[in-house]
Structure 1
Amino acid sequence: MKLYFTKDHEWIRVEGGTATVGITDYAQAQLGDVVFVELPPVGAPLTKRKEAAVVESVKAASEVYAPISGEVTEGNAELEADPALANTAPEDAGWFFKMSVGDASELDGMMDEAAYRDYTKDL
């Protein structure tokens, strides 16, 4: 299991041919209280760096981008029922969707946790 981060503040955890995607703790802190999420439907094709989901907070609505290309295999029904999970457990129970890994080489160049924490220090 390996964890990667994007400059758009998504995280992706890869286990075999499946990846779990969510927003980072930094992202949820910037958004404020999350009140609604719109997840992609199962079977939807996703393209790297294109919109995959929507997260709305009391401050703003924001897109969640697909970190890699693949197909949605599951949406987080618990997050849909309780969007606040994106705030309370953004990098755990607050995940957004799972997807197949279309091309593992698309993970190349993503940040690990230490590099992402360094990246967000200066924002």
Structure 2
Amino acid sequence: MLMKISIRLLLLVMCVAMAISSTLATAMQFERNFPVGIKRGKMTTTDLADVVIDGKLRLVSMGLRIYNEENAIVPVAHVYVRNVVVNYLEDDIGEIQKIWILTPEEAKLPLPKAQ
């Protein structure tokens, strides 16, 4: 009886491990497509959730979206970074609409060019 429970538990653990590894492998393979017109800079956030890019305090739009390295949206109040490389998109009046925190591999790539 104990042997059957141990085998079932082992099989369950193996199935869960395979599912997790498959999910992680899929998540690591995505490539983010950044829009034309983005800019790149080094971002720091302050204790008051202000955004500083390349040493300048920047105005952000009401609908600001910050995407972390896994492409999940995070609120600016939960982003505590110092001099991380980001891509960002401004609106017509210069407010920042979107920020993508880049992985080291993405930071090495050139910005997309207009066609």
TM-score by length of 1: 0.27
- State the structure with bigger RCO (CA 8 A, min sep 6), 1 or 2: 1
Higher strand share: 1
TM-score by length of 2: 0.28
Higher helix share: 2
